[in-house]
Structure 1
Amino acid sequence: MINILQWILGALILVASLLSVYNSFRSRRSVDARLRGLYASRMNMSMGLMLILIALIQMLLFEGSSIRVVVGSVFFLLGMFNLFAGIRNHSHFKKLPS
């Protein structure tokens, strides 16, 4: 069961990482400011999800040492911040006229 969970979380981290890189390239190459903001916010959401998944791996799949719990908590908080900032920015840039 633990092995399956590890593979699933690893695959999700890989997908979130690839989405983050993809949206980062699209954001940097976009000329339109609205699209640049939308892609950057999607990159933030992907990065936040990736950090949350890394924190879950740290907290669930390994023995609980104090350093692991601290690192997992920091990754979780950074991930939540990136996720909510990305959602907020996405809604802001979505409302802008094309």
Structure 2
Amino acid sequence: MVNALQWVFGALIIVTCVFSALYSFRSRRSADGRLRGLYASRMNISMGLMLVFIAIIQMFLFSGSSIRVVIGALFFLLGLFNLFAGMRNHSHFSRLQR
């Protein structure tokens, strides 16, 4: 069971990392400011999800040392902040796109 969860979260981390890199590349190459902001917000959402998945692996799937739990909690908070900021910016730039 734990091994399957490690594989699932590992795959989710790789997928969100690829999406984060893809949107980062699109954001830097876009000439239009609205599209640049939209891609950057999607990159933030992907990066936030990636950090949350890393935190879940750190805190729940390995033996719990206090340093591992603290680092996992920091990754979780940073991931939630990135996720929230990306969702807020995505709604803002999608309204501008219309």
Deviation string 1:3-41 (CA, Å, 9 cap, x unpaired) is 000000000000000000000000000000000000000
Count residues in correspondence: 98
Map 1:20-35 onto structure 2 (within 5 A).
Answer: 20-35=20-35
Q: Secondary structure at the match of 2:35?
A: helix
Please say if 1:11 is aligned against 2:1. no
Q: Which amino acid counterpart does residue 13 of structure 2 have in structure 1? A: I
Map 1:41-80 onto structure 2 (within 5 A).
Answer: 41-80=41-80
Distance 1:97 1:11 in 2: 32
Q: Secondary structure at the match of 1:63?
A: coil
User: Who is 1:37 aligned against?
Assistant: 37
CA drift at 1:88: 0.1
Distance 1:39 1:97 in 2: 12
CA drift at 1:97: 4.3
Deviation string 1:43-95 (CA, Å, 9 cap, x unpaired) is 00000000000000001111111100100000000000000000000000011
Q: Which amino acid counterpart does residue 54 of structure 1 have in structure 2? A: I
The percentage of counterpart residues that share the same residue type is: 70
Structure 1 ranges of 4+ moved more than 2 A:
none
RMSD: 0.8
- Give the TM-score normalised by structure 1: 0.98
**Any gaps of 5 or more consecutive residues in structure 1?**
none
